[in-house]
Amino acid sequence: MDTGAVEPETEILGVHDCWKYLQSTPVCRIAFPHRDTVEILPVNFVPSNGTVLIRTGEGTTLDSLPNGQAVSLEADGFNQYGTIAWSVVVKGHAEAADDAASHREASDSRLSPWQAGTKDRLIRVNPAEVTGRRFVIAPPSRWAPQEPSGER
């Protein structure tokens, strides 16, 4: 039965809104080619000066990224009521950021590791493309299969 109700559209976010959402969450996923597969890892990060800064440890899979490696980052979240969701994707290239200025930047932005151990390697993702979307989360009544009337 068509109720004539209009479904809310997915809103394409502008770059400014994408960065605002990235600043609102401490974790994203990074995807990159590794050996004969694609790795996807959760990382803590900070958006910084139009780039994304990630902390990792020496000898990790993430630390093995060659400079210039193409990567994608994705962060998602929702509003405090759980009614509106958002997703931001950053596509770009990774580079080692082990200079003193980058370490000061990480310290000033409180980019700290989650796990114990030495995590003194920094990776900066320089974006080539930043995209995002926001949408109203549909209640189950809008997507769950309905039982035919009269059957139980």
CATH of the domain at 41: 2.30.110.10
Domain count, the chain: 1
User: What is the distance between the terminal CA atoms of the chain, rounded to a whole angstrom?
Assistant: 20
66 occurs within a structural domain: yes
Q: Is there a domain that residue 147 lies in?
A: no
Question: What's the token pair of residue 12?
Answer: 């394409």
Does the residue 36 lie in any domain? yes
Q: Label residue 65 left, alpha or beta by phi (over 0 means left) and psi (-120 to 50 means alpha).
A: beta
Output the pTM of the full model: 0.83
Task: Give the angle subtended at the CA of 76 by the CAs of 59 and 117, to the nearest 5°.
Answer: 25
Domain hosting residue 15, numbered range = 11-135
pLDDT at 142 over 70: no
Could you tell me how far CA 70 lies from the centroid of its own chain? 15
Q: How does residue 26 score in pLDDT terms, banded at 50, 70 and 90?
A: confident
Q: What contacts 104, CB < 8 A, 6 or more positions away?
A: none
- Model confidence at 31, in pLDDT bands (50, 70, 90)? very high
pLDDT at 47: 94
- Is residue 121 situated within a structural domain? yes
